[in-house]
Structure 1
Amino acid sequence: MHPVRPLPGYLVQRYHGWKATSYSENRAWYRRLADEGQRPRAMVISCCDSRVHVTSIFGADQGEFFIHRNIANLVPPYQPDGNQHGTSAAVEFAVTALKVAHVIVLGHSQCGGVKGCLDMCEGRAPELEESTSFVGRWMDILRPGYERIKDTAPEQATRALEKEAVVVSIQNLMTFPFVEKAVQSNEMTLHGLWTDIGEGGLEYLDPATGDFLPV
């Protein structure tokens, strides 16, 4: 039996609706993107969470953002060890090939990956400790952030760790030689953001204080 099946009907209907409206009304723009290639101004590293809609938050058009999504919007440290690194490859392509002017790490509230990391670090998720857990081994990236917030009050710990996911990722970005070079030469800037899904709020990481402040 072949594992692939036809697209669900509701997605087919939505595609045809998009083709007849948004695409039809902007046909020249889509063709220009196809012919001239992409020139995104920024790379956004965000969570896979379906509630985080980067283009909607910033009112972005097609071709404006180079977007990479993974569990908990994490960037691992620079580690050219011969293994496959999807996030590192995306960062390399954005910085060295696309020459983006900005790299934005966008965290969010109610992040399941971050909650899993918190539970794992506090002994409540033994399944994530297993060597076979892809999620658990990915969330090991955030352990340094947990060490900084482990004494935080329980009701504030998850949110604090969500913001640490942004901080850790930015710190790890700076371990990539081509990122460090682009930042130090003022060819590119790094930005840390956190969004509250329910309230629609957006906070930025203040480099002067290390705090997250409202945009």
Structure 2
Amino acid sequence: MTHLPERLLAGYKHFMSGRFLSETQKYRDLARDGQAPETLVIACCDSRSAPEIIFGAGAGELFVLRNVANLIPPYAPDGEFHSTSAALEFAVQALKVKNIVVMGHGRCGGIKAALDHKSPPLSPGDFIGKWMSLLAPSADAVAGNSLMTPGERQTALERISIRYSIANLRTFPCVKILEEKGKLKLFGAWFDISTGELWVMDSQTGDFVRPDLN
């Protein structure tokens, strides 16, 4: 009897004979000392845009928070269940990360759903629809622009969502205070799946530019 998909077991076998074998001491140190990543990456659930792969990170280097369309909701201490806010709180307050990167990506399904008002709910709960309604005002403005092509509207909202999440990060007191003290820095990035290009948000203008890798 197989208790996991064969592809996962094959991948685990490769991990044990490859990376784990060559980095055994590193894993032992992480197990003994705990994790101390300097950067939190807030990324989409999309299987094509894994931050650890894109940034070439090893075990213990990144604390990764992934959800649909890499969104951070506004600070809302209302006693309800907030998984994204809980992960953010842990990264900032317990791990004391020094950097937060919100990374969006091209061809995001969540963003496409936000732009397509005719798309029916995937289930009676419409969890994705409710989640993406966080972007409703921006999505309505972008969707109503007839001078843009569908692809341009998609990319525009993907990048707007990054600015939106960064703005919402600053509604969390722990983030706002630490950023003002210079102990925490916020960044935005957008990854193009088809070309591998990474675009980084200018903190002053909000524009996305290609970083100089030379």
Q: TM-score, normalised by structure 2?
A: 0.92
- Residue 159 (structure 2) pairs with residue 166 (structure 1): no
1:127 corresponding residue in structure 2: 121
Partner-residue secondary structure (3-state), 2:116? helix
2:132 is aligned with 1:139: yes
CA distance in 2, matches of 1:92, 1:144: 27
The 2-side partners of 1:13 and 1:61 are apart by: 20
Alpha-carbon distance, 1:176 to partner: 0.5
Q: Which runs of 4+ in 1 moved over 3 A?
A: none
| Aligned counterparts of 2:114 and 2:162: Cα–Cα separation in 1 | 14
CA deviation digits over 1:101-158, x for unaligned, max 9? 00000000000000000102xxx22437x87200000001112332553444133111
Q: Determine the structure 1 residue equivalent to 2:10.
A: 13
Report the Cα distance in structure 1 between the residues aligned to 2:121 and 2:23, rounded to whole angstroms.
Answer: 48
| C-alpha distance in 2 between matches for 1:127 and 1:8 | 29
- Name the amino acid aligned to 2:83: G
In structure 2, stretches of 5+ residues that fail to align are none
Matched residues, number: 207
Determine what percentage of the aligned residue pairs are the same residue: 43
Q: CA deviation at 1:169?
A: 0.5
Counterpart amino acid of 1:154? T
Q: 1:57 aligns with which of 47, 54, 59?
A: 54
Cα RMSD between the aligned structures?
A: 1.6
Structure 1 residue 58, shift from structure 2 partner: 1.3
1:76 match: secondary structure: coil
Q: Counterparts of 2:144 and 2:204 in 1: how far apart (Å)? A: 23
Q: Is contact 2:191-2:198 (8 Å) kept?
A: yes
Gapped regions of structure 1 (runs ≥ 5)? none
1:212 and 2:205 correspond: no
Contact kept, 8 Å, 1:103 with 1:188, in 2: the verdict is yes
The answer for the alignment partner of 1:154 in structure 2 is 149
Given the superposition, is the C-alpha separation of residues 48 and 30 from structure 1 closer, same or farther in structure 2, using an over 3 Å criterion?
same
2:107 counterpart (98, 106, 110): 110
